[in-house]
Chains A and B, each alone.
Chain A
């Protein structure tokens, strides 16, 4: 698989380390009433879809940036790549 890095252009996926579902960006509120349940679900439960999947890849063998890659889990086709930083900021995170 070739990942089209937003800054570096097309790179071999072997340069990256895979973390998992991009929903890991959305950490639950540690002060909320239901934090135990929320953190359990956050840490352990996954949608695991067959089809389009947004996921976190770390460019360990490159610029060490985190990317959000949109990839089809049935065909392995990659349709979108964004810097995780930009995705997180757009979702209201400070960094």
Chain B
């Protein structure tokens, strides 16, 4: 059923009895052309673009829990394309363009809201770095705007302009950035893929791969063996654990990242704001809650909860730039498991095993990447060639020295 204003009115007049489930709940077939492991944003987006753009409909998405239960439903929903390096910026700008057309593409209201993102500048050196970043963005077709201190005062009068330690000297804005309703992204892609015949199989854990003579023939799951021409893995924080079943060690560590939501408030924040002198970022959801977060806890973790030192650190960051946040009460906090790569950038590549493909290493920026990641992974799975925006996301870049290290931190995943 197509979702439209007409249908909403029609259903309202007929007691809402005509709505059908948004996707089927099929039993797995014995064999698919392509099986995608992981029903997060990336796996579901991959299925959508495979079926819509690449004409592949004999596809299944295998999810161990329920779709949207992983990071796609745990993140702070920020989308942007404000990267510096060549390997990244075209990819993220491609993603932002896909976000702009997403709701029409999948016929689902994902509440894509281009309310803008603004990174604060606190020193002259930081201004230089941000001007350079803004220029790199513009060169790649993205938008960027340098804001003076005066402009920041006018647009964000509630910020702390009296901080002698971290004075606000300006900002780098990307007006096309913003937020998206995260679960709706999973649901929208799932519904669109399902409508074209993709099987979305929930509560089905992948427990192993069947690999013979260097070729992956399918997967072992809690619902039995499922044969596949090609297998694509997109399990985010569980990448290390899953690929170990194929005998692979990855340039990835799993770390926990926390997020926080305050009680609902009247509209106070015009968009997304990030602190440039510490790690803190905040936006306001449409329900009114202030959604904010900061650093990783910093140690390997598969627990979807963090510890108190980071709570303190994040709240200090908030108080430093936006003292009014101290008046809001915290409603909820939670954690998600991040696939932190060795250079802070992702991998979308074939593995050394024929028929086995990998998508991961998204660190804490993978939500904004969802459409482009799905598109590029679908391209790779369908054509055995990387998508033009994802050619740098190779496994062997650590061997050849072509790391994409935005922060210049080296092989220390908890610092990216």
Binding site for B on A (CB under 8 A): 1, 12-14, 18-21, 40-41, 43-50, 53, 55, 71, 73-76
Question: Are B300 and A48 touching (Cβ within 8 A)?
Answer: yes
Q: Per DSSP, are chain A's interface residues mostly helix, strand or loop, or mixed? A: mixed
15 A-B contacts (beta carbon < 8 Å): A18-B414, A19-B412, A20-B413, A21-B300, A40-B399, A41-B249, A44-B251, A45-B249, A46-B251, A46-B252, A46-B253, A48-B250, A53-B300, A73-B301, A76-B301
Q: Which residue of B lies closest to A19 (CB)?
A: B412
Question: Are A73 and B302 touching (Cβ within 8 A)?
Answer: yes
B342 at the interface (CB under 8 A from A): yes
Question: Are A18 and B299 touching (Cβ within 8 A)?
Answer: yes
In the assembled complex, which residues on chain A have CB atoms less than 8 Å from the CB atom of B238?
50
Question: Are B299 and A55 touching (Cβ within 8 A)?
Answer: yes
In the assembled complex, which residues on chain A have CB atoms less than 8 Å from the CB atom of B399?
40
Give chain B nearest CB distance to A77 CB in angstroms.
10
In the assembled complex, which residues on chain A have CB atoms less than 8 Å from the CB atom of B302?
50, 73-74
1/0 per position for B286-328, CB-CB distance to A under 8 A?
A: 0000000000001111110001010000000000000000000
Question: Are A48 and B299 touching (Cβ within 8 A)?
Answer: no
In the assembled complex, which residues on chain B have CB atoms less than 8 Å from the CB atom of A19?
412
Q: Which residue of B lies closest to A53 (CB)?
A: B300
Q: Per DSSP, are chain B's interface residues mostly helix, strand or loop, or mixed? A: mixed
Q: Knowing A47-B244, A48-B241, A48-B250 touch, does A74 contact B303 (C-beta < 8 A)?
A: yes
In the assembled complex, which residues on chain A have CB atoms less than 8 Å from the CB atom of B307?
1, 13, 76
Give chain B nearest CB distance to A35 CB in angstroms.
13
Give chain A nearest CB distance to B253 CB in angstroms.
5
Q: Which residue of A lies closest to B339 (CB)?
A: A48
Q: Knowing A13-B307, A40-B399 touch, does A46 contact B298 (C-beta < 8 A)?
A: no
Question: Are A45 and B303 touching (Cβ within 8 A)?
Answer: no
In the assembled complex, which residues on chain B have CB atoms less than 8 Å from the CB atom of A40?
398-399
Q: Which residue of B lies closest to A74 (CB)?
A: B302
Give chain B nearest CB distance to A59 CB in angstroms.
14
Cα separation A75 to B299 with both chains bound (whole Å): 12
Chain B: how many interface residues by the 8 Å CB criterion?
Answer: 25
Question: Are A14 and B309 touching (Cβ within 8 A)?
Answer: yes
Q: Which residue of A lies closest to B301 (CB)?
A: A73
Question: Are B411 and A43 touching (Cβ within 8 A)?
Answer: yes
In the assembled complex, which residues on chain A have CB atoms less than 8 Å from the CB atom of B309?
12-14
Question: Are B240 and A48 touching (Cβ within 8 A)?
Answer: yes
Cα separation A18 to B298 with both chains bound (whole Å): 7
Cα separation A74 to B299 with both chains bound (whole Å): 12
| Listed residue (A49, A50, A53) with the most chain B CB atoms within 10 angstroms of its CB | A50
1/0 per position for B397-416, CB-CB distance to A under 8 A?
A: 01100000000000111100
In the assembled complex, which residues on chain B have CB atoms less than 8 Å from the CB atom of A74?
302-303
Cα separation A53 to B301 with both chains bound (whole Å): 10
Q: Which residue of A lies closest to B309 (CB)?
A: A14
Q: Knowing A14-B309, A20-B300, A55-B300 touch, does A46 contact B250 (C-beta < 8 A)?
A: yes
In the assembled complex, which residues on chain B have CB atoms less than 8 Å from the CB atom of A21?
253, 300
1/0 per position for B234-269, CB-CB distance to A under 8 A?
A: 000010110010000111111000000000000000
In the assembled complex, which residues on chain A have CB atoms less than 8 Å from the CB atom of B411?
43-44
Give chain A nearest CB distance to B412 CB in angstroms.
8
Contacts A13-B299, A13-B307, A50-B240 supplied; 13 other A-B pairs, CB < 8 Å? A12-B309, A20-B300, A20-B413, A20-B414, A40-B398, A44-B251, A46-B250, A46-B253, A48-B250, A48-B254, A55-B300, A74-B303, A76-B307
Q: Which residue of B lies closest to A17 (CB)?
A: B298
Cα separation A19 to B303 with both chains bound (whole Å): 19
Cα separation A29 to B239 with both chains bound (whole Å): 29
In the assembled complex, which residues on chain B have CB atoms less than 8 Å from the CB atom of A73?
254, 300-303
Q: Which residue of B lies closest to A45 (CB)?
A: B249
Cα separation A36 to B158 with both chains bound (whole Å): 54
In the assembled complex, which residues on chain B have CB atoms less than 8 Å from the CB atom of A48?
240-241, 244, 249-250, 252-254, 300
Give chain A nearest CB distance to B323 CB in angstroms.
24
Give chain A nearest CB distance to B381 CB in angstroms.
24
The 9 A-B residue pairs whose C-beta atoms are closest, nearest first, are A48-B240, A14-B309, A45-B249, A50-B302, A44-B398, A44-B251, A18-B299, A44-B342, A73-B300
